[in-house]
Amino acid sequence: MRVLFIGDVVGKPGRRMLTRHLDSLVDQNRVDFIVANAENAAGGFGVTPDVARELFDLGIHCLTSGNHIWDKKEVFDLLDEQPALLRPLNYPPSCPGDGIYVGQTAAGLQVAVLNIMGRVFMPPCDDPFRRVDEALSKLDPKIRLIIVDFHGEATSEKVAMGWHLDGRVSMVLGTHTHVPTADERILPGGTAYQSDVGMTGPYRSVIGVMAEDVLKRFVTGMPTRFRTAKQGAELHAALVTVDDRSGRATGIQRLQVIEED
């Protein structure tokens, strides 16, 4: 089985890249299951019902998120109505939605997606190590193909989670920092790992925001409204091959599509 995991989709530039290139990536790489992190998909901050539907209509099976999932209040009801739209599972259980989704491929193979968030330099949330252990203990043992989106700031915390879950899940792929890392590998227990898949959005920017807005804040220390950049669109993703029977990853590859402005 082949999983395409798309890094943080940022605003219209990110969605446009998916509209233009997702079908060809799926066909060329014989992809069976698609996951995308969508927490910045609506104007760079959050996700709306319309944007979520737009992404699902492209053929994406599951949308993960992170700390920006609450930025658009109109998504609250959708989180309860649409199980394939996730928020980090280590938010309190009283929050809308869930952090686990179980779906299946066209061939009928069950796939579990877990969305967790780090605590280092991130908003308050529960212990991701304990909560992911609890979630895995409750998962049907027949499900071998398990995808984990670890949404976190600190590389050390992400690497630690990779080792913590090695041999128990098919892949641990990092999101949130919007910069693709070159550390993709298969850990000894058969878990594919990458610290950050990167951003699908405008790279002529500061991690998706117009450079002048970010520079003004850094240079002056004054509050500044952040606007989503529009140029330098790129698509970044990880392609992971998994053995159907064991659930162990057998390959991981970084994918990148760049459009000329």
Q: Catalytic amino acids?
A: 68
Rounded Cα–Cα distance for residues 225 and 172 (Å): 33
Rounded Cα–Cα distance for residues 228 and 220 (Å): 20
Rounded Cα–Cα distance for residues 88 and 103 (Å): 17
Rounded Cα–Cα distance for residues 17 and 29 (Å): 17
Six-digit token pair at 67?
A: 């700390």
Total residues belonging to the chain:
261
How many Cα neighbours within 13 Å face the side chain of 237? 28
Give the residue carrying structure tokens 């807005």. Answer: 213
Q: How far is CA 220 from the centre of its chain?
A: 33
Main-chain phi, psi angles of 258, to 5 degrees: -120, 130
Largest pairwise CA distance in the chain:
56
